[in-house]
Structure 1
Amino acid sequence: MSRTVLYYFTPQSPWTYLGHARFAELLRASRREVAVLPVDYGRIFPASGGLPLPQRAPQRQAYRLLELRRFAEHLGLPLNVQPRFFPVDGTPAALLITAVAQQDGADAAMRLAGAVMAACWREERDIAAAATLAELLEETDLPPERLREAQHAEVRARYDAHTQAAIDAGVFGAPSWLVDGELFWGQDRLEFVARKLGL
């Protein structure tokens, strides 16, 4: 049994935002390690039969907004279901989180990921903008040079490798967790993740 939970997500996902803090609490309670793995769903969706949001049927798009409102109210989390900067390219933030995970560790990457998601879904900030990402590094007490390092080919290669690993593991949506070889998808499945963690 691995002590490490694999956490696959994309930073512009509202569902990941809704589950992130609760997942962090489960990690603390279970004393498990985590691999923070932002991945490219632009590659995962075609490989898994999924569709990007703008290509989904109007009924599905409308129901998504309804469910986001329901879950935000249920969880007591502030959420703008149609934020100013969305759709947004999550790649710059994903690469930055990848760089931070590599250089500063999982706890720092979890902290930054949570800040990025909140910036998008609660604060309506542009998480694709370098200026916003620089602010978020400062707000989470992380080195400013990570923004430059996130552009390195090595970080991109790591991001691509994590994406391929997610595809190989059967990941198709965000957020997803791999716990002791078992896959869980969706913030509404965190109760099952907790059980798997023995909580």
Structure 2
Amino acid sequence: MPRTERVKGQARTMAKTIDYYFFTISPFAYLGSAELERVAQDTGARINVRPIQVKTVFQETGGVPPAQRPQPRQDYRFVELDRWSQARGLPLTKQPAHFPVPDLLSCAAIYAAEEQGGDPLRLAHAILKACWAEERDVFDRETLHAIAGETGHDADALIQTAEGRPMAQKVEQMTGEAIDRGVFGSPWYIVDGEPFWGQDRLDMVARKLD
């Protein structure tokens, strides 16, 4: 149930929120995207959609890109991708044609959707799906333009906004904020100051919200 606090003798409902930090080229963010939305709907929580840049996060927190990890870690990552794609009932290509790719524009597009009153979570899910289930290049401007239109946004206006300096600054700002809050992986959820790393922690996120 939502928390309440007493303000001048009256009870005021405290909105429940999930701060959702993720990389737009993260397979585990893709696998958890629909489940996160379900958790939010079931608990009445609002999701703050915060895409962040993987390269900056890894550089600042000691992360290593998948291809540079020791072979046993790479092998186990594929095991987990198989396991969770089956558990979630979602199609997934473990080695998509367009991965890794730069992520600034895809992050900026999601913030542009939010600024224009669109649905940033829907766009985020579509971008993740495009990379991991459809083998589309989410670095490509025309691909992102098409995805924006497919998700009900004004694609021309959204991409134009995403390519502007203010949205790039927004991505940089939110990436820095994430690092300051201890984020080092994707997906990452924060509820009432408590961090949860990984889509396999969404059941714990749900319990925290309840």
Q: TM-score, normalised on structure 1? A: 0.94
Give the counterpart letter for 1:115 in structure 2. Answer: A
Map of 2:127 onto structure 1: 116
Q: Give the CA RMSD over aligned residues.
A: 1.2
Tell me by how many angstroms 1:2 deviates.
5.7
Q: Which has the higher contact order (CA 8 A, sep 6+)?
A: 1
Q: Which aligned pairs between 1:11-160 and structure 2 lie closer than 5 A? A: 11-105=24-118, 108-144=119-155, 145-160=157-172
Tell me by how many angstroms 1:102 deviates.
2.0
Tell me by how many angstroms 1:60 deviates.
1.0
**1:57-112 per-position Cα deviation (integer Å, ceiling 9, x unaligned):** 1221121112101111122111111111112222221110111122225xx00000
- Select the residue among 17, 22, 28 that pairs with 1:9: 22
| Structure 2 CA distance for aligned equivalents of residues 66 and 49 of structure 1 | 23
Counterpart check, 1:167 vs 2:179: yes
Q: Which aligned pairs between 1:175-194 and structure 2 lie closer than 5 A? A: 175-194=187-206
Long gaps (5+) in structure 2:
1-13
Long gaps (5+) in structure 1:
none
Give the counterpart letter for 1:154 in structure 2. Answer: P
More strand by share: 2
Q: TM-score, normalised on structure 2? A: 0.89
| Structure 2 CA distance for aligned equivalents of residues 64 and 91 of structure 1 | 24
Work out whether residues 15 and 45 of structure 2, in 8 Å CA contact, stay in contact via their aligned partners in 1: no
Paired residues, number = 196
SS in 1 for 2:20: strand
Work out whether residues 30 and 129 of structure 2, in 8 Å CA contact, stay in contact via their aligned partners in 1: yes
Work out whether residues 2 and 180 of structure 1, in 8 Å CA contact, stay in contact via their aligned partners in 2: no
Tell me by how many angstroms 1:3 deviates.
2.7
Higher-Rg member (1/2)? 2
SS in 1 for 2:185: coil
| Structure 1 CA distance for aligned equivalents of residues 183 and 87 of structure 2 | 26
